[in-house]
Structure 1
Amino acid sequence: MKTLNKIMNLALLAVLVVLGSCDDDITERNINPNGVNLEEGNPSFLLTDVMVNTAMDVGNKGYSNPLAAYVQYIQKDSWGTNDYDWEGDGWETYYNNLRTVNLALERSQESGLVFHEAIAMILRAHNFALLTDFYGDVPYTEALQGADADGVDLPKYDSQESVYKGSIADFEAASQLISSNMSSLETISPSQDIFFGGDAEKWEKYANSLALRYYMRLSEKDPAFASTGVQNTLAKPLMESVDDELAVSYLGISPGDSQPSNGLSATPSNFTRVKPCATLIYALEELDDPRSDIWFDAVEVPTQVVAPAEMPSGPSTFLEISNGLRYINNDSLASKNLAIYDPATWYADREAGLTMIDTNGVFVGLPVSNQGTEPYTYNLNPSPVQGGGNIHVSLMNPMFNELEGPNLKARVFSYAELCFLKAEAALKGWGTDAEGNYNKGVEASLETWGLADAYEDYIDNEGVAYDGTLEQLMEQKWIANFSSASEAYLDWRRTGLPDLRPGPFAKSDVIPVRFVYPTENSTLNRENYYSALNSLEETEHTDDVPGYIQNDTPWSKPWVLQGVDQPW
């Protein structure tokens, strides 16, 4: 823990080549091996470094990280068993960001750089908010006080409530700092501001939008506080269109600045092992959702279960491939312990020991935690070896195998999310026009994936046309958050929607609700670490998996979930 508090010589100053809009590139960083004099640190470069690392963390968690499997966007068929035993990551990233941004804040204040100061406040608050989102109580008030001789080497863990509310207060203070000085703010080069290209109005909207996100994060736990905050925030400038959203394009020069799990910067299996999750496949199919074509690749060889007389080689044949289709004899299913995958029955079928066959004609995904081993055997794969491919399960769309591209972005905060937040607030009676904001959220998601022309038809589809339920709203928000798994996970944790559950071979019957503290915390900051564990609430699932220290498990509830009905 001591390393969290000592502001070390910074070796991560960024010299960045970017485009100059809210869709600017995540770019290469030149590393200074000799560090930098803290008194000479350029706040612009320091802030750029934190923007890069914050966006990369969101992007990496968003696509192929275990969080994306938790919320059932993807599954991995090799080198990842999808059994919900992941302990989480991000602690070091967030505190590294915080050390850097705290120096940027100090340097900005010393130099009278008001715009830089406000950006630093926003980035600092966001990284603290992410820490408490995932871990619970975290070092906060003392976390960055280790630079001076009288600093704190072993910081206390502050309550999750205080970190959330302190972060919200900082978002609001930064917004006010920008708005009250708008006419006299210093300029920031678009090449240094990879988030918004130096546009102060967009930073003000972003700070307010983050405040709205976090007020809603507390809407179940502290509705009185959240209600007042949401209503006040809705009266402030917020994102107004897709042009305002924060989606940072990947540069594609090195593995560290490219689309996560592409097969070009490392090994081809980085791409091929990531498969669509059956949960998302069937949800989109039921809604006739055009985003399926953008996100997934058609299965190479579809499967049909047919009557014996329809088998190309005769009724005694069990399985064969002919004319690009695989045929399976229906009369053989029972004897070979097989069942056709159905979203409504597959869980019970697997518990009964049956092996699934997916007969979907276009897209075939992997069911979540479908088996206790890595699922490269799924759907009777004829080449069942690790990394060997599977012609009977879909790959992700080939664009995800690229290093960069027009749709490949770290989606930190989308306009669609903002619209769905406003719609949910209206459902609670804290805002207005739930239907209008719901429709805008759907439209914004389609637009950001290049499908704006599909909106008029899609919005009238059964299950999509507005019905006034939170279930429908959160399903569309879940879909819109594809590749933004962090926010989808935290929404699910807050609302229990959509109704996701682990498969029959998961470590627990319920999805985890927090990350586990890094192991070294129990030794380097022992007293404060064990004190923090007392704030976690034991649940009936806390002991589902042995080996954790006291309550420091993925199934122990932090403050934000205590006394709340959701997610389980």
Structure 2
Amino acid sequence: MKFIKNKIFLLAAVGLLSSCEKQAFVDVNKNPDALSEIPPQNQFLQATVSIHSQDFEHYYDLYRRIMPWMQYNTPQTGNQGSFTLNFDNFANRYGRLYNGIGDRLYDLEQLVSKLEPEEQPRYEQMIQIARILKAYYTFYVSDIYGSIPYTEAFQGRYGGTLQPKYDTQQEIFAKLDVEIKAAITSLKATPAAPQYSLAAYDQYYRGDVQKWIKAANALRLRMALRVQKADAAAGNAIITDVLAAPAADLMSSNADAWVFIGNATFTGNAEGGNWNTEGLRAPKPMVDFMWEKGDPRIDAFFTPNQYSQANINLLIADKKLPAGTVAGRRYVGSFTSPDESRQTAVVQRYYSPKLISSNNQTVDTLSFIQPRLFNTGRADAAGNAGTGQSYLPVITYAEYCFMRAEIAAKTTGAATAKDWYEAGVRSSLDWYNEVGQKSQLTDYVATTPAEITAYLAQPGIAFDATKAIDQIASQSYLNFMKQPQEGWALYKRTGFPNETSIVPLPRVSYLNVPLVVPRRAPISLPTQTDPNYANKKAAYDAMAALPGFGELTSAAGRVWWDKP
């Protein structure tokens, strides 16, 4: 069940907004002159919160759509039926661009324009950082929708049109790259006046301009790899331009990662609400791979099953297990293909928990998603609420390393690719180790340097130039456990993981009919009573003409960058 609840956002470094400030945000929607009552940096903070507080997006888009499609989880009894056709309530991200994120970041600039002329130059860096954040979220929405309003968007209450035209995805990606590059140039320049820092209003970098430059360049790379699939020349030009930047302008460690960090209650209370992953199983393909390779992240991603030796002894006493049974492997995944999960033998062995008579406790064979990885405030078995930190990544350093590794594997050669690949694996293990400890993940054991060294030496993990792209993509896929939407994009962009890749994504079927993984958000047909009908119809007709786009209401088609 989905919960609708009043949300309280208590951020790590920022107190609650006052009731007066909240009313001011309401007033802005009615009266643009009310903007003068709000500090510009408040709009940045509010936009940031709006990006990361979307529990409906987690409940629908991630937990019950993208994660099952990409085999990051399954429901309680495995995937059932034609689950890849389940995309109702999908794509919660769209509405937030125009009501809570892009509009607020646009407002920030309008707020500054209302200040005294001598004050305005002191906000130049803040404006550029806001533009980077707005570019990121615009890209995030267009990524699965294609054409959306952008050039004429956000301007309705400032004298602009209320019926904005739609920019094509190709136009949007090009414009965003130009805007991000211009923001970087501005941030690198010596300011004309002392700058007001975002400081406590910036949950990512606390106003550190140099880190924002690094984040912006990483975002350009992420976008360029999408563009490269549809327009190799354009994508390659962006990549070349980014990699020509000074080393100081590029990510170099986990300290540079673009990550929102809030307190435990930011991602739900002890009960969890919409952040709750209860009932979501660990997937068999990923669990089997991680177990066999000794992947130190396994206890950050998943929980051990309930077959502890103590429970086994009680089941022996109940004569439900043979005498002498000992605890073995306790990370066991759920079947991802409906045709497997519904087999009688599988149901009896994996989906039929045993009951301990003495305490009425069920003993489950299968693992679940680690609850506090997504819902940090979740209570443990003793009822103690989590008090750790909520980590919500945008671009990790590991992702940056894997992007560099992929680029190197295609251009400069195996030696450079190997270095970036190994840096990516190490940084991913280190980052999830930080999350494991600071989010207080249940039963988490800290990763040691020896474990990392041993993991990198494992067959399939140790770099093999003949399998470079497969290895890089497979490790990227694992790293995206906290960002399954990016794992989905990786699959669409590279074709990895797949049935034969190092980390496998097995074929899924129902009644022996292969199921197709969705590739974009479905789009509702516009009605002629829609005030913006003409612009919508023109945009949708143009997208429908793209190769592979398919029917508007289908999720199986492709947006511009996802070229067949």
TM superposition score category, shorter chain reference:
0.7 to 0.9
Q: 1:405 to 1:176 in 2, by over 3 A?
A: farther
Query: More helix by proportion, 1 or 2?
Result: 2
The equivalent position to 1:94 in structure 2, one of 89, 94, 97, is: 97
Tell me the SS of whatever aligns to 1:172.
helix
Letter in 2 for 1:192: Y
The equivalent position to 1:266 in structure 2, one of 273, 278, 291, is: 273
Letter in 2 for 1:143: A
- Which deviates the most, 87-96 or 212-221? 87-96
| 8 Å Cα contact 1:209-1:418 kept in structure 2 | yes
Whole-Å separation in 1 of the counterparts to 2:144 and 2:538: 18
Within 5 A, what are the aligned runs for 1:531-550?
A: 531-537=538-544, 550=551
Whole-Å separation in 1 of the counterparts to 2:91 and 2:105: 23
**What's the CA shift for 1:523?**
5.2
- Number of the residue aligned with 1:443: 426
Can you list the C-alpha shifts for 1:285-322, whole angstroms capped at 9, x where unaligned? 2322111122212111399xxxxxxxx99xxxxx9434
Tell me the SS of whatever aligns to 1:247.
strand
Q: Is 2:517 aligned against 1:511?
A: yes
**What's the CA shift for 1:483?**
0.8
**What's the CA shift for 1:526?**
2.7
Identity %: 22
Whole-Å separation in 2 of the counterparts to 1:39 and 1:208: 33
Q: 1:159 to 1:381 in 2, by over 3 A?
A: same
| 8 Å Cα contact 1:136-1:160 kept in structure 2 | yes
Whole-Å separation in 1 of the counterparts to 2:367 and 2:130: 43
Q: 1:216 to 1:60 in 2, by over 3 A?
A: same
Q: 1:361 to 1:126 in 2, by over 3 A?
A: same
- Number of the residue aligned with 2:296: 290
Letter in 1 for 2:462: A
Q: 1:424 to 1:63 in 2, by over 3 A?
A: same
| 8 Å Cα contact 1:367-1:503 kept in structure 2 | no
Pairwise CA RMSD of aligned residues? 3.8
Tell me the SS of whatever aligns to 1:126.
helix
Tell me the SS of whatever aligns to 1:248.
strand
- Number of the residue aligned with 2:443: none
Letter in 2 for 1:533: Y
Can you list the C-alpha shifts for 1:11-51, whole angstroms capped at 9, x where unaligned? xxx997533xxxxx8x7555624534123332100001111
**What's the CA shift for 1:56?**
3.4
- Number of the residue aligned with 1:239: 251
The equivalent position to 2:12 in structure 1, one of 14, 18, 26, is: 18
Q: Is 2:77 aligned against 1:106?
A: no
Q: Which runs of 5+ in 2 are unaligned?
A: 1-7, 29-33, 115-119, 310-315, 356-360, 378-385, 434-446, 499-504
The equivalent position to 2:142 in structure 1, one of 125, 132, 137, is: 132
Whole-Å separation in 2 of the counterparts to 1:100 and 1:489: 28
- Number of the residue aligned with 2:493: 494
| 8 Å Cα contact 2:264-2:388 kept in structure 1 | no
- Number of the residue aligned with 1:54: 51
Q: Is 2:334 aligned against 1:321?
A: no
**What's the CA shift for 1:195?**
1.1
Can you list the C-alpha shifts for 1:128-150, whole angstroms capped at 9, x where unaligned? 1011101111111122232244x
| 8 Å Cα contact 2:226-2:493 kept in structure 1 | yes
Whole-Å separation in 1 of the counterparts to 2:424 and 2:509: 34
Can you list the C-alpha shifts for 1:361-411, whole angstroms capped at 9, x where unaligned? 321222225269999967242489xxx987121123354464156574101
| TM-score in terms of structure 2 length | 0.76
Q: Which runs of 5+ in 1 are unaligned?
A: 1-13, 20-24, 304-311, 314-318, 327-358, 544-549
Q: Is 2:152 aligned against 1:179?
A: no
- Number of the residue aligned with 1:145: 155
| 8 Å Cα contact 2:253-2:397 kept in structure 1 | yes
Whole-Å separation in 2 of the counterparts to 1:79 and 1:298: 17
Whole-Å separation in 2 of the counterparts to 1:284 and 1:538: 42
Tell me the SS of whatever aligns to 1:424.
helix
Within 5 A, what are the aligned runs for 1:30-429?
A: 32-33=22-23, 34-36=26-28, 37-57=34-54, 61=58, 64=63, 66-77=65-76, 83-84=83-84, 85-86=86-87, 87-96=90-99, 97-109=101-113, 111-112=120-121, 113-149=123-159, 151-181=160-190, 186-236=195-245, 237-253=249-265, 257-258=266-267, 264-266=271-273, 270-301=276-307, 320-322=320-322, 361-370=329-338, 379-382=350-353, 391-397=364-370, 399-400=372-373, 402-403=376-377, 408-429=390-411
- Number of the residue aligned with 2:562: 561
Q: 1:540 to 1:126 in 2, by over 3 A?
A: closer
Letter in 1 for 2:83: D
**What's the CA shift for 1:473?**
0.6
Tell me the SS of whatever aligns to 1:249.
strand
Whole-Å separation in 2 of the counterparts to 1:477 and 1:508: 25
| 8 Å Cα contact 1:17-1:191 kept in structure 2 | no
**What's the CA shift for 1:452?**
5.7
Tell me the SS of whatever aligns to 2:223.
helix
Letter in 1 for 2:370: N
Whole-Å separation in 2 of the counterparts to 1:225 and 1:50: 30
Tell me the SS of whatever aligns to 1:275.
coil
| 8 Å Cα contact 1:121-1:171 kept in structure 2 | yes
| TM-score in terms of structure 1 length | 0.76
Which structure is richer in relative contact order (CA contacts within 8 A, separation 6 or more)? 1
Whole-Å separation in 1 of the counterparts to 2:18 and 2:338: 44
**What's the CA shift for 1:435?**
0.9
Whole-Å separation in 1 of the counterparts to 2:126 and 2:324: 59
| 8 Å Cα contact 1:59-1:409 kept in structure 2 | no
Tell me the SS of whatever aligns to 1:103.
helix
Letter in 1 for 2:261: S
Whole-Å separation in 1 of the counterparts to 2:514 and 2:194: 52
Letter in 1 for 2:552: N
Whole-Å separation in 2 of the counterparts to 1:511 and 1:373: 18
- Number of the residue aligned with 2:358: none
**What's the CA shift for 1:273?**
0.9
- Number of the residue aligned with 2:313: none
Tell me the SS of whatever aligns to 2:281.
strand
Tell me the SS of whatever aligns to 1:392.
coil
| 8 Å Cα contact 2:307-2:364 kept in structure 1 | yes
